[in-house]
């Protein structure tokens, strides 16, 4: 977070998407109530080390690493936050005082903190006990998130064992101590949000996200018949395509197929990051491809498209999902302003957002 943003947020004051928490050496007792409320509502930001009136009191500099570690660990602990939602806090210094920022997105699931459901209003967090209100939260989320929808007739036999093994290998490659990598399959699916209880119906089962990640092609075609990615290259006659790839398989293989299509048709110019030569094409397109995989709506009939257009005068790459169109220029003039999150794309950490929203 930049200092200008911190200055603006503290001047803005608390509201439906912003919460201040005074903290010095320990986490505030109500921290995960606010996190839960933001997850259940429309997301928001928690600033630790800030008083209710916006004054920056600061957290203890020697406690920052421990506080960040506690937030990450507790957000992944179902006894504290159920289902878990891993958070990544970071710290910023302002006039010699430190603030920890926690950005909380809107989740596709209904979360509980210490066993209770919370929502957010302009006055702060409030507990929800009425089952009709909880059902309303579920219905609202299902109107724009379909990945957590439970399919009670899906069974483990509908999932490919080789894909589950590949996902576990990716976890270990990223973190040899990853606690999920050696879990039994059913427990692994629960941790990732692929196996859950439908709060509205009471059914427990595998979700649409589980089918998309690990299902056979037949199962995927059954639960998401409209799903496809459409990759196109147009060079000579722009009214026609020179090459095309239609993808209707699981999302792990879909990533590999789409990246292979990129590598087949786009040059990879020489680029140094410091003294190390890196693949600029790979760094950019890992993020773009994972973005259209993780954030498209799989029950929508409109395909997600990736189109490369080249003429004698210009080149353009167009990425489109659900009517959202993003165009970028060719990568013949690389710059160093590349988002660092590209390096984390297409591993279990990036794709698990399908399970967790």
Burial 23-38 (b: 16+ CB within 10 A, else e): beeebbeebbbbbbbb
- 117 and 187 part of one domain: no
What's the pLDDT at 122? 84
18 forms beta bridges with 15, 45
CATH code, domain with 92: 3.30.950.30
What's the pLDDT at 98? 95
- 258 and 319 part of one domain: yes
- 193 and 250 part of one domain: no
Does residue 133 sit within a domain? no
- 241 and 211 part of one domain: no
Does residue 308 sit within a domain? yes
- 206 and 109 part of one domain: no
φ/ψ of 98, rounded to 5, equals -105, 140
Residue 112, SS3 per DSSP: strand
Q: How far apart are CA 196 and CA 203, in angstroms?
A: 8
Nearby residues of 35 by Cβ (< 8 Å), 6 or more positions away: 46, 75, 81, 85, 87, 102, 104, 113
The domain tally of the chain equals 3
Last residue of a domain, one of 223, 244, 260: 223
- 74 and 175 part of one domain: no
DSSP state of 355: H
Last residue of a domain, one of 110, 128, 146: 128
What's the pLDDT at 355? 38
315: domain range?
Answer: 229-356
CB 294 within 8 A of CB 252: no
What's the pLDDT at 256? 94
DSSP 61-117: GGGHHHHHHHHHHHHT-TTTEES------EEEEETTEEEEEEEEPPPSS--EETTEE
What's the pLDDT at 142? 61
Q: How far apart are CA 333 and CA 218, in angstroms?
A: 43
φ/ψ of 310, rounded to 5, equals -130, 130
Last residue of a domain, one of 223, 248, 264: 223
- 179 and 199 part of one domain: yes
What's the pLDDT at 281? 87
Written as six digits, the tokens of 7 are 């200055």
Whether this model's pTM surpasses 0.95: no
- 72 and 170 part of one domain: no
- 84 and 186 part of one domain: no
- 60 and 106 part of one domain: yes
Residue 308, SS3 per DSSP: strand
Does residue 318 sit within a domain? yes
- 219 and 238 part of one domain: no
209, 212, 214: which is closest to 228 by C-alpha? 212
Q: Point out the residues of the chain with pLDDT beneath 70.
A: 1, 139, 141-145, 199-201, 311-314, 321-357
Q: How far apart are CA 319 and CA 328, in angstroms?
A: 8
């Amino acid at each position: 977070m930049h200092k200008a943003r911190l200055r603006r947020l503290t001047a803005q004051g608390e509201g439906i998407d912003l919460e201040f928490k005074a903290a010095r050496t320990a986490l505030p007792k109500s921290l995960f109530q606010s996190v839960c409320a933001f997850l259940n509502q429309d997301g928001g930001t928690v600033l630790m080390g800030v008083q209710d009136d916006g004054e920056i009191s600061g957290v203890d500099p020697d406690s920052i690493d421990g506080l960040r570690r506690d937030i990450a660990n507790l957000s992944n602990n179902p006894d504290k936050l159920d289902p878990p939602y891993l958070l990544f806090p970071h710290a910023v210094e302002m006039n010699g005082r430190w603030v920890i920022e926690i950005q909380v997105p809107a989740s596709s699931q209904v979360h509980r903190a210490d066993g209770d459901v919370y929502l957010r209003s302009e006055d702060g967090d409030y507990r929800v006990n009425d089952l009709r209100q909880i059902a309303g939260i579920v219905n609202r989320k299902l109107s724009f998130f379909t990945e957590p929808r439970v399919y009670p007739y899906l069974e483990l036999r509908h999932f490919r064992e080789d894909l589950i093994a590949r996902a576990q290998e990716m976890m270990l490659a990223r973190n040899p101590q990853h606690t999920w990598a050696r879990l039994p399959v059913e427990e692994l699916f629960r941790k990732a949000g692929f196996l859950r209880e439908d709060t509205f119906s009471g059914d427990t089962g595998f979700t649409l996200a589980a089918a998309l990640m690990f299902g056979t092609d037949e199962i995927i075609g059954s639960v998401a018949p409209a799903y496809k990615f459409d990759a196109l290259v147009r060079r000579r006659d722009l009214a026609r395509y020179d090459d095309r790839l239609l993808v209707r398989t699981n999302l792990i293989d879909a990533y590999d197929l789409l990246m292979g299509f990129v590598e087949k048709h786009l040059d990879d110019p020489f680029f140094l990051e410091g003294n190390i030569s890196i693949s600029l094409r790979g760094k950019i397109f890992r993020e773009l491809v994972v973005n259209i995989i993780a954030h498209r709506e799989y029950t929508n009939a409109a395909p997600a498209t990736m189109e490369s257009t080249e003429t004698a005068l210009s080149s353009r790459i167009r990425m489109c999902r659900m009517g959202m169109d993003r165009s970028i220029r060719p990568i013949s003039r690389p710059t160093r302003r590349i988002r660092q999150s590209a390096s984390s794309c297409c591993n279990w950490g990036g794709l698990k957002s399908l399970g967790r929203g």
